[in-house]
Each structure stands twice: as C-alpha cells, then as structure tokens.
Structure 1
Amino acid sequence: MKLHFTRKALDTLPLPAPGVGRAEYQDDEIKGLVLRINEVGEKTFSAVRWSKANQKTIRVTLGPYPDVSIEKARKRAREVNEMIAAGTDPTEERRRMRSELTLDQLFEIYLDRWARQRKKTAREDERDYANHLAPRFGNKRLSEIRRPDISRLHSEIGKEQPRTANKILALLSTVFGRAIEWGYADANPIHGLKRYPEKKRDRFLQRDELPRFFDALATLPNPTARDFFLMCLFTGARRSNVLAMRWEEIAFDQAMWRIPETKNGTPQFVVLHRAAVDLLRQRRKAADSPWVFPSTTSKSGHLVEPKKAWALVLKNAQLTDVRIHDLRRTLGSYQAITGASLAVIGKSLNHKSVQATQIYARLDIDPIRDSVQRAVDGILSYARVAPDAPS
C-alpha cells in the first residue's frame, strides 16, 4: 500500500489483522522506502529494490521508527538506491562492516574517521571514553549495549557529577549516530534517555578575592604559569588559545593578537590591554621559542595543563571553586560592571549566536578596546601589590 510518510500517518497506522503477521507500506516520495508494522505495533523502515546486477531483490533494514526519523529513512533509502544502481549489494557490504564489531573497535573508527579530523575536543573524547565507557562497554558488541545499561551508568556518574554524566551520554550518542550513518548500527540506544538539568556556571573572581589572587600570583615560583594565568585574565581568551599563543600572532604596534582559529572555527582579533602588552614585551626579551608559553616537556612544545600551579595559586589565595576558565568570565563580568554592552562583551570574548553575530558584525574595534581597558583597569585596581614583572 502506498502512503505519504508523515509522523501523523505513521503514528496512526492500524495493526495488521490477526494471523497476517505484518503489513507493509510504501512511501510515495522515495522509491523503495517501505515501513513494516507487526502485530504488536513495532514499525521498521527498510529499503527494497531489485538489483539488476545481482539479479535479486535486496532488502536493507534502515532502523526502527521513530528512533529513525522519516527524514533520515528517506536519506538512507536514497543512498541504498544509489548503491544498488551502481551494482553494489548493501546487505553484503553491511555484513562485512558490522562483523564482530565491539564498541572499542567502533570508537577507534570514530576517532580516525570523524573526531580527529573535525573535533577540537577529540582528546577529551578519548579521555572520557577511557575513563567511563571503555570499562563498562568496551568489549561488548554493539547489539549487546542496551538502553537500561546506559541509563544505569548515567545514573551512577550523575550522583556526583551530573554534567559529566550528560557529557558521557552525549559522546556515546554521537558515536552511535556516526555508526548508524556508516552502517555499523541500526538504532541509537541513547535515544529517549533524559539528561540531568544543568545550571550554567557564573563563578568569577569577586572584588575581595582579587587582592589575594594577585598576591598568590606574585609568589608563584613558575613564571611561565603565572604569566599564562595573567594573560587569560587580561584577554578573556579561551584557555586553549592562550596556551597555543605564538609570537607571530602578536602585533605589538597595534596591541592586537590574532588567533588563527577559535572554538567557533573562525579567527579572532583580541585587543590587548597595556598590562598584557607589557607582559608580552618582557617575555619576548628572553624568548627562544615560537610559543609565548613554551614547555620543554610537552609534545606540543607549549604549556599544556598547569594544574599544579593553579592548585598552588588557589591554596595560597584561599580560593575555592575557581577554575582557569573563570578568569575568562571574570573579564566579561568586569566589562559589564564598568558599563559595557552585552554586544561589546560578546564580541570581545568571541561568543557566537545567530542574533548576536548580526550585531557584532557592525561593531567597531574601538568600543571593544575601551571596554577591555576599563575592565582590566578595574581588576588591577583591586590588587594590593602589582604582580612582579615577568621574567
């Protein structure tokens, strides 16, 4: 029976008559796309086409509805049609690809084929997978990974770390999403699982905390880490960008720093407060590396993760619940305190949204520079003693 596939139409399909077993409906938009419904109401998409090259009818299961949406089913049916027209048997190809695949094997494919090429957070994915998913599911075949088991893991992590639990769930969902796209799986077992509600973090250094913070920085034995923390605060740039800062990106005469590529996938021009320029000039005098914050121990050649230095700063400053990323939020907060508009703050911190971007595109650099200058001046005014000059 032909039918125009819509959610309303598929959701209201009658059950097959007793003894019939199942009924099959043909989409009137994509040739070969069918939906089967059995006696208990389970609905499954398939692509069914005659293969001239193989001289047989080929049926490819596309996945259960509604886990697989109508739009995705149509897209996959088109792909199957193209493969059959080219003389390829998708069922044989799928059997070959899915043979004995474990989650560990799938994750390696995901890293090589997707994450390492397209995601800046690929290393975070690897770490999160190793810490949370590999011990529980790594050796399991994809068909053995069930929604209740995933929900149980999500609950276990969420008792202490709800944001981490959501992050792990999102990672596993992405991996299975790619698996479905590549033909390794038919359905995403994460579909329908609810995330924990998350409260957006709003921590920044308060006025009474800034003097202690600067005092702690002044006594920090690692000058590279100290300068890195200061640069994070003075620029409001993301930690990863400051860590990878190169001398060739700094325009001293314009007091500007051009980040070639940010988290948003676009370059960013960062205005530099005079305190940031002074810090950079001091470091430039003794520089023998293309990196502003070099490291002799990291593979990258630059500072990677100064956790111990940050922990020492927090201890000496008697601060709790402060992260390096909160330095970025501190600059934005003091921009707001000193009267900057949300558009100016968003532009200076390279925030990205559809509506805000239209406003940012019309902004001149001068109000952004003025805002950063006022904000850093305000921050520095709370330092009892200015930090020692960088060495």
Structure 2
Amino acid sequence: MSNTLIDFNQKVLNALPRPGKGEQGVEYRWKKNPRLRALVSSSYIRWVVRLSWKGQRYYESFGTYPEMKFADFNQQAYQFIADVQSGAYQKGSRLTVQQFFTEVALPYSRKHHRDHKTFLSRSKRVMKVLGKKRVTDVTRRDIEGFLNSLSGLSNASVNRYQAFLSKLFSMAVEHEIIEKNPVKGVKKLVENNLKDRVLSPKESESFCRHACAEPNFIHASALMLSLLTGMRIGNVISLTRSMLADDLSSALLPMTKSGKAQRIYFSEPAKRLIRKCLKVSFNDWVFPSFKNKGEHIAYPRACMERVQKGMKADGCFDGPFTIHDLRRTHGTSMLIATNDIRLVQQSLGHSNVSVTERYAYYQNIHLAQASQQTVEAMLPNFQFS
C-alpha cells in the first residue's frame, strides 16, 4: 500500500507505474479526500474506498478505470461514505449480480453442485441481461422480463433458468444482502414431461448393428453401454477403471443425479463391450478422449446422428429418439422382462418409484394383452354377442 497523494486525472492515472505480474497492487490516495483511492495492479486500475467509522473499518470496490470515469466513482464513493456514517450502509448492498455470482455463487457451485458446468453455462445468459444491475435493485419485474425473453426455449429450459435465478437470489438473502428473493411468486411454466419414446426390439437390434459398424468405436460403445445398462450417458462417459470391479461384474458410481453412490451390474454383452474399450484406453478413463489430453469423451451426439441415419436407411426407424431414450428403453425392457418395478427402480438408481413409472412402463401391446386377460378373469363364462 502507498501513502502517495495524487490528482485523479487522466494524465496522472495513465502515467502510474504498474506492478509486475504476481506482485501486490499499490493504492494511491486522492489529494482532496484520501479515503478515495486507485488500486493499481499489473492488469487494471480499480476505484476503491477505505474508511474507519466508529471503530469499524470499511472497504468497498466500485469499478475499473477507464471504464468507470472518476466523476461517477466520486459520486458513488461519497454516497457510500454517507451511508456508512448515517447507518444506512448494508454490507454487500453495492454488489452487482455479476460480482455476487463471481464472489459467492460460483465458488459455492464448484464445491457443491454435481453439474457445475451446466450452472456456469446458464449464468452466461443471465449475466448478459442482469449482470450489471445491483443485487438490491433486481425486481420481480426484471426476473419475469428475463424469463419472457427466453421465448425460443422449451418450457422446461425456461424453468431451469428460473431455478438458477431462485438459487442465486436465495443465496443473496442468506448473505443478508436482500430481504426477499425477487424470484418468489414467479410461476413456473407448465412442462410436458411425459415422454414415452422407447426403441422397439427391431430398432434396438438395428441401433446396435449400426453402432458396431461405427468408425468412432469409443463414442459408439458409450451409446451401446447406456442401452445395455440403463446408465445415464453422463455417468457412462465419465466411467473410470477405478470404478470397475476386478471381474468387470459391476461398477460403483461415486455420485449420480440422486446425489448418492450407485452400483451398476453388467450383463455379459456389457462386460465384453467394456473389455474392448479398456484395450484401447490409454489412461484411467474407460472412454478416453483422443482430442483433449487427459479428458473423457464429450457427449456422443454426432455419433448418435450417424447411427440413426443408418437405421433410417434400413427402414428400422419409427421416429426420432434421444440419447436419454436409451436409458428409458433399458428400463422399460427390464420391466417387461421381470414384471418388477422395484427391481427397475433400484437398477436405474431412482430415489422414488414414481420417477421410475415415468421411465419404465408397459407398451401398448402389453397393455392390450393385460386388458384382455383382465376381462377373461372377471367374466370367464360370459359370452359377448
């Protein structure tokens, strides 16, 4: 820290020496009010205020020069000092949404969120619209305006952004920056979560046949393992050697979507598939990336599209399906084979059987057969004319 008093004009500020990279920043005080300072580092000049009042020390950062003009800093600095001296100052009340996200929400997400990448991805769109606003200034109208701007997304996607905002501002409440979450009271959009697309046996065979013929063996194998085990594709591609049992009979996933560990048991075809992958793997990943050193493969979307294209050419394609539908297909096939939804629930790692009921269900032909069998049981001797 420096005791140097300077004028805060363009000529003086531009001539200030910059510390070397990695060296501590230097503060220069304004001649007319030493509480107002310029913190100079190797990469920026930041406006800050330091003052002591009634035995307490206060520090506040405002913005960087030249993006923030001195006149703007001067005005905000004196308002900050006045708030402190009047008792109206609330810690964190000057934080922008971007600053709060960077300083509080982002470190929390890295530590606690299973899907930190998705949390970070959603933040980018939010920060473009709300990032420069102070946390204390964001209103319910701002939230609704942002959500309405997402008209091109599905209702489910818009609701995920609303959940992101709700978490962000609930953290601001917890840190006593605001008293009420501005997202509270905003109604979620109606979602159509009922998905019943599963592959028929004919489609499943065609899928595996084309996957086996795929030139990108690693990506195709990840897709097939999802079908053969019901594993989420995220768990499949992040599978490591250390998770596998010595005899490849199972794998222990340390963390799943439910937040718990889960053991997955492999069929013989799944074991053979994993053995083939391990033979070409050159690190701990079962599905290593050949593009990004030390990483596992990305979501195999392009491979999925090529496989579906081949299925269409063979006439073994009843309609579009997603990678996640492979998991749904496995669950439904297990229910039909075992007639035990609890077994399916445990196999898929669902915390509640009601979730399993949305994944695994009897197809129309089995429902029709069940209806016929029920009528015959109710009225075994009645003849309908």
Q: Give the TM-score of the pair, scaled to structure 1.
A: 0.62
Tell me what 1:267 maps to: 261
Q: Deviations over 1:237-267 (max 9, x none)?
A: 1222111111122225361111122222322
Give, in whole Å, the separation in 1 of the partners of 2:183 and 2:143: 7
The answer as to whether partners of 1:294 and 1:302 remain within 8 angstroms in 2 is: yes
Tell me what 1:329 maps to: 328
After superposition, residues 199-214 of structure 1 pair within 5 angstroms as 199-200=192-193, 201-214=195-208
Q: Give the TM-score of the pair, scaled to structure 2.
A: 0.63
Structure 1 pair 111/220, CA: closer, same or farther in 2 (3 Å)?
farther
* Structure 2: segments with no counterpart, 5+ residues: 1-53, 56-83, 357-385
Structure 1 pair 212/167, CA: closer, same or farther in 2 (3 Å)?
same
Tell me what 1:96 maps to: 91
Tell me what 1:149 maps to: 142
Structure 1 pair 246/204, CA: closer, same or farther in 2 (3 Å)?
same
Give, in whole Å, the separation in 2 of the partners of 1:104 and 1:206: 48
* 1:126 positional shift: 1.0
1:198 to 191, 194, 205: 191
Q: Deviations over 1:41-62 (max 9, x none)?
A: xxxxxxxxxxxxx89xxxxxxx
Are 1:138 and 2:137 matched, yes or no? no
Determine what percentage of the aligned residue pairs are the same residue: 26
Give, in whole Å, the separation in 2 of the partners of 1:356 and 1:328: 13
Q: Deviations over 1:146-188 (max 9, x none)?
A: 2223223323424541111111011001100011101222221
The answer as to whether partners of 1:244 and 1:302 remain within 8 angstroms in 2 is: yes
Stretch moving more, 299-308 or 133-142? 299-308
Higher-Rg structure is 2
Structure 1 pair 355/287, CA: closer, same or farther in 2 (3 Å)?
closer
Tell me what 1:163 maps to: 156
Q: Deviations over 1:342-391 (max 9, x none)?
A: 1100101111139999xxxxxxxxxxxxxxxxxxxxxxxxxxxxxxxxxx
Tell me what 1:227 maps to: 221
* 1:321 positional shift: 3.8
Tell me what 1:128 maps to: 122
Are 1:287 and 2:281 matched, yes or no? yes
The one-letter amino acid of 2:147's match is: H
Structure 1 pair 224/137, CA: closer, same or farther in 2 (3 Å)?
same
SS of 1:270 mapped into structure 2: strand
* 1:281 positional shift: 1.8
Give, in whole Å, the separation in 2 of the partners of 1:106 and 1:147: 18
Q: Quote the RMSD (CA, aligned, Å).
A: 2.8
* 1:222 positional shift: 0.3
Tell me what 1:6 maps to: none
The answer as to whether partners of 1:98 and 1:183 remain within 8 angstroms in 2 is: no
Tell me what 1:174 maps to: 167
The one-letter amino acid of 2:291's match is: T
Give, in whole Å, the separation in 2 of the partners of 1:94 and 1:231: 57
SS of 1:258 mapped into structure 2: strand
Give, in whole Å, the separation in 2 of the partners of 1:270 and 1:231: 11
* 1:92 positional shift: 7.0
Structure 1 pair 253/160, CA: closer, same or farther in 2 (3 Å)?
closer
Structure 1 pair 293/94, CA: closer, same or farther in 2 (3 Å)?
farther
Give, in whole Å, the separation in 1 of the partners of 2:141 and 2:173: 20
The one-letter amino acid of 2:297's match is: L
Number of residue-to-residue matches in the alignment = 268
Give, in whole Å, the separation in 2 of the partners of 1:178 and 1:273: 45
* 1:98 positional shift: 2.3
The one-letter amino acid of 1:104's match is: Q
Instruction: State the structure with bigger RCO (CA 8 A, min sep 6), 1 or 2.
Output: 1
Give, in whole Å, the separation in 2 of the partners of 1:324 and 1:356: 18
2:113 to 116, 119, 139: 119
Structure 1 pair 230/96, CA: closer, same or farther in 2 (3 Å)?
same
